[in-house]
């Protein structure tokens, strides 16, 4: 199993700090989660049903009805490599570690590529997978560039898979509205309610793709992929345009505030998204440990060495982070 953010119990045991005393900024999940309405008792007693309106609401939000509800986009990340014969899969590096692991586990040859190599791998590989915005660096690819890469892959029957887990904060439908359609029949887009909506615990995601991809994907994942209460929560969140607009404004303001705070403490220019800031630094291990020793958990990366730090949610949390950053500035 790969390491991910949010492992508070492990951090509490390692650093000897009670679980309740931690500030977790390691996940990239929005600090203000969607306020899910009360769940009806029947949702706990009955199996979920596909015609409950979730697909229609999701289709309106993403701009496409060619989609499949998933138990988190992670399910598709693990399943999609099993729908293709072994070939060469190009995965952006650095990026979410589960991409490469899934393609390797399914017997594909793995090729890592940098952002400026997109065109080259699209012309020579069977599958290209990347995040847009990319996790953890926040790097973005223009839609026109991605569609051109998809066309190159299409000529050989290849796929372009774009994980848009962090795209909601930018507004619009990104490439989801085009995935699987006439403009990009070989494009597969993954979306999730975990980050922007703050509903990581609900485990709800979607694959947007052509029917030729969605049908075998659905068979592989199996029936009732999303629990009934989670479907209720997702349906409400995806339909609430007013909350979504307010959430975008909150996240962008908080991300700007975090960038300014980090800069004031000598972190230099950070990259990232509306949900986190990212710093490439050889001091990643040192800074991570210094903050963890003060009960603040961020995300550390080793290849390349870097840090991803999420958004505090309350003024007390902002003040706590500010004080901790002041304290570690004296480190050699």
Q: What is the mean pLDDT of each run of 10 residues along the chain (332 residues)?
A: 71 91 95 96 94 96 96 96 97 95 97 97 97 95 96 96 95 84 96 97 97 98 96 98 97 97 89 96 93 95 93 98 88 46
Domain limit, last residue, from 180, 206, 239: 239
Of 239, 272, 297, the last residue of a domain is 239
Asked, for residue 73, whether it belongs to a domain, the answer is yes
In a domain, 185, yes or no: yes
**Distance (Å) of CA 256 to CA 46, 55, 250, 272, 275:** 44, 34, 10, 10, 10
Angstrom distance (rounded) from CA 85 to CA 87:
6
Cα gap 207→191, rounded to integer Å: 6
Residue 87 lies in a domain: yes
The verdict on 86 and 229 lying in the same domain is: yes
Same domain, 13 and 71: no
Number of domains in the chain: 2
Helix (H, G, I), strand (E, B) or coil at 47: coil
Pair (187, 91) in one structural domain = yes
Residue carrying the six token digits 């899910």? 36
Q: What is the DSSP string of 260-286?
A: HHHHHTT--S-EEETTEEEEE-TTHHH
Residue 33 in domain: no
Q: Is residue 154 part of a domain?
A: yes
CA distance 263 to 270: 8
Domain end call among 239, 270, 296: 239
d(CA 125, CA 329): 45
Indicate if 186 and 155 belong to the same structural domain: yes
Residues 17 and 48 grouped into a single domain: no
Domain identity same for 161 and 116: yes
pLDDT of res. 322: 97
Residue 1 lies in a domain: no
Distance, in Å, from the CA atom of 189 to the CA atom of 67, rounded to the nearest integer, reads 9
Burial code (b: 16+ CB inside 10 Å, e: under 16) for 87-96 equals bbbbbbbbbb
This model's pTM is above 0.85: yes
- Do 68 and 178 share a domain, yes or no? yes
Q: Does one domain contain both 275 and 191?
A: no
Domain that holds residue 315: 8-28+242-328
Same domain, 109 and 174: yes
pLDDT for 45 equals 95
* Pairing status of strand 276-280 against strand 271-273: antiparallel
Whether residue 286 is found in the same domain as residue 178: no
- The answer to whether residue 81 is domain-embedded is yes
Q: What pLDDT is attached to residue 173?
A: 56
228-239 and 54-62 are packed helices; what angle lies between their axes, rounded to 10 degrees?
A: 40
Same-domain check for residues 193 and 92: yes
CATH number at residue 170: 3.40.640.10
In a domain, 3, yes or no: no
CA distances from 137 to 3, 278, 306 (A): 17, 6, 9
For residues 258 and 156, membership in a common domain is answered with no
Could you tell me the CATH number of the domain that includes residue 269?
3.90.1150.10
């Amino acid at each position: 199993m790969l390491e991910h953010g949010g492992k508070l119990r492990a951090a509490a045991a390692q650093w000897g700090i009670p679980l309740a005393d931690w500030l977790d900024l390691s996940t990239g999940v929005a600090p203000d989660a969607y306020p899910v309405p009360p769940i009806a008792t029947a949702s706990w007693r009955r199996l979920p049903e596909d015609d409950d309106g979730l697909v229609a609401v999701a289709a309106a939000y993403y701009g496409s009805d060619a989609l499949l509800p998933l138990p988190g986009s992670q399910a598709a990340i693990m399943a999609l490599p099993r729908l293709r014969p072994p070939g060469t899969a190009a995965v952006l590096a650095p990026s979410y570690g589960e991409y490469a692991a899934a393609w390797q586990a399914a017997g594909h040859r793995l090729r890592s590529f940098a952002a400026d190599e997109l065109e080259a791998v699209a012309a020579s590989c069977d599958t290209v997978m990347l995040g847009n915005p990319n996790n953890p660096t926040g790097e973005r690819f223009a839609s026109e560039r991605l569609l051109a890469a998809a066309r190159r892959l299409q000529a050989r029957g290849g796929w372009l898979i774009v994980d848009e887990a962090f795209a909601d904060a930018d507004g619009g439908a990104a490439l989801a509205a085009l995935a699987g359609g006439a403009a990009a029949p070989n494009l597969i887009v993954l979306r999730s309610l975990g980050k922007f909506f703050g509903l990581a615990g609900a485990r709800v995601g979607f694959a947007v793709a052509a029917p030729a991809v969605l049908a075998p994907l659905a068979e592989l994942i199996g029936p009732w992929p999303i629990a009934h209460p989670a479907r209720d929560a997702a349906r409400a969140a995806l339909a609430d345009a007013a909350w979504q607009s307010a959430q975008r404004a909150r996240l962008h303001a908080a991300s700007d505030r975090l960038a300014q705070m980090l800069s004031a403490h000598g972190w230099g220019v950070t990259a990232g998204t509306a949900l986190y800031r990212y710093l490439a630094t050889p001091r990643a291990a040192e800074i991570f440990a210094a903050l963890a020793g003060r009960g603040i958990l961020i995300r550390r990366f080793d290849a390349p060495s870097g840090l991803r730090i999420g958004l505090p949610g309350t003024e007390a949390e902002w003040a706590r982070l500010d004080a901790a950053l002041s304290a570690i500035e004296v480190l050699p």
